[in-house]
């Protein structure tokens, strides 16, 4: 058949000569390769003592952010839930009452905010969809659990801790 790419190479099937049939030179070359690998640096991270650094754009666990006065930024608009391809996010919204202005920034807030970490694919679309810069995937990876229900993270795990803002 005509070659289309002009890169076709016809290999000749030559019978092995005496030197090649002896195998010993080939075994010697093989041994040289393995002993070189023996002294090469190892790629293993010895895990509990030595942790592999995360990449800069690593997407891990979500956190719900607070603003500079320590109020929750989330306004429960539902865009994150809508954008989520894995449908991992659910929320129930509530209206802010009088006297709660120091807790929630907007007039509406998420009373319940749950992410199922088993469904989440860590694509980061929720982070992109959020108009209030309230959710970021800036944590580490999800720790193991014994039960499925423990992978559904509520606000207790998601909202970042309140700092003392003077």
Partner 1 sequence: MESALLLEKTILVVAVFAITLFIAMYSTLVERKVAGFMQARFGPDRAGPFGILQPLCDGGKFFFKEEIIPAGAHKFLFIAGPAVAMFTACITSAVIPWGQELVIGDRVVSLQVTDINVGVLYIFGVVALGVYGIMIGGWASNNKYSLMGAVRAASQSISYEIGLGLSLIALLMVTGTLSLKEIVAQQEGFVNWNIWVQPLGFLIFMVCAFAECNRVPFDLPECETELIGGYNVEYSSMKLAFYMFAEYINMFVSSALMAALYFGGYNFPFMNELGLSQNWITILGVIAFFIKILAFIFFFMWIRWTLPRFRYDQLMRLGWKILIPLAVANIVLTGIVTIIKDTYF
Closer Cβ to partner 1, 40 or 149, answer by number: 40
Residue 38 has φ and ψ, to the nearest 5°, of -60, -35
Asked if 35 interacts with partner 1 (CB under 8 A), we say: yes
Binding to partner 1 in span 102-141, by CB under 8 A: none
Q: Which of 40, 56, 98, 166 binds partner 1 (CB under 8 A)?
A: 40
Q: Which of 38, 52, 56, 144 binds partner 1 (CB under 8 A)?
A: 38
End-to-end CA distance of the chain: 80
Least gap, CB of 38 to partner 1 (angstroms): 5
- The sign one gets for the Cα dihedral 68, 74, 77, 81 is positive
CA separation for the pair 144, 75 (Å, rounded): 30
Q: Which of 20, 31, 118, 145 binds partner 1 (CB under 8 A)?
A: 31
Q: Which of 7, 42, 56, 148 binds partner 1 (CB under 8 A)?
A: 42
Span interacting with partner 1, options 23-31, 72-80, 92-100, 117-125, rule CB under 8 A? 23-31
Q: Of 102, 82, 81, 100, nearest to 91 (Cα)?
A: 81
Q: Give DSSP secondary structure letters for 77-90.
A: --HHHHH-TT--EE
- Residues whose CB falls within 8 Å of the CB of residue 79, separated by 6 or more in sequence, listed in order: 129, 130, 131
Span interacting with partner 1, options 1-9, 41-49, 133-141, 151-159, rule CB under 8 A? 41-49
Provide the annotated binding site for [4Fe-4S] cluster: 74, 77, 80, 84, 120, 123, 126, 130
């Amino acid at each position: 058949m005509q070659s289309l790419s002009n890169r076709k190479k016809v290999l000749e099937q030559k019978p092995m000569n005496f030197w090649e049939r002896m195998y010993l030179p080939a075994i010697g070359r093989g041994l040289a390769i393995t002993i070189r690998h023996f002294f090469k640096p190892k790629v293993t991270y010895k895990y509990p003592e030595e942790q592999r650094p995360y990449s800069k754009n690593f997407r891990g666990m979500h956190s719900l952010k607070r603003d500079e006065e320590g109020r929750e930024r989330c306004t429960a608009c539902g865009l994150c839930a809508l954008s989520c391809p894995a449908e991992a996010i659910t929320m129930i919204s509530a209206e802010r009452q009088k006297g709660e202005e120091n807790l929630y920034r907007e007039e509406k807030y998420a009373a319940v905010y749950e992410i199922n970490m088993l469904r989440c694919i860590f694509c980061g679309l929720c982070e992109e969809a959020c108009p209030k810069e309230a959710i970021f995937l800036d944590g580490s990876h999800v720790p193991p659990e014994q039960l499925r229900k423990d992978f559904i993270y509520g606000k207790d795990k998601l909202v970042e801790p309140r700092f003392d803002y003077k």
